[in-house]
Structure 1
């Protein structure tokens, strides 16, 4: 595995180990790299007052913002099971706020990367910040 991808994979795996998923049992970890090469990770955090929980991708984005990062260059999402654990619709839009359409979104399980998409493939013809700035 490419060293840059491996570092995202390891960060997502470590974050996933700290997920709080007592209701679904579905632990997810996410890691992203900002355009300065820094890695930020997050895990899902469920809440008894469903659906108040937080997705792993949202946690990683919050960590990036708190750490001073502003643009995402790549994302890796790690979850369990036979199906691909891609970002939910809300997280696709969250990622879109900070990433270009060409940004790779890697999907993994604990055994390795299973698929790779661009953000544009997961969220085609999306609405983003430039739609509001008049630069669209």
Structure 2
């Protein structure tokens, strides 16, 4: 079975498009051919799309964003524990270990992300702050929290 432009749809009465004056509308093929052969100044110009980052960079960036967010969340939990009254170091240590794990996951992801990625400065600052806090904890700066 061959389908031709302007064929009515089976089972749907009035499926052939009609113009406002009641005559049959031109088929898509007619409109397309007419547009294709029209003068160039009558055809609207095509706006070029913005450049798209390659999928690999996007993938690394997505992982970097998520891991940075998890590291920041781990730092917040650590901060809350340090600020809680009556908390001893054994309660805080799992939060420090979680922070260490998140930081360890962040470092290799930074290599795969373009240098102009807007999250890189946040990630670098997160790494520096977390490293300082981990060092302070293990050095004993917080004593008996």
What's the TM-score, normalizing by structure 2? 0.24
Higher strand share: 1
Higher helix share: 2
Rg larger for: 2
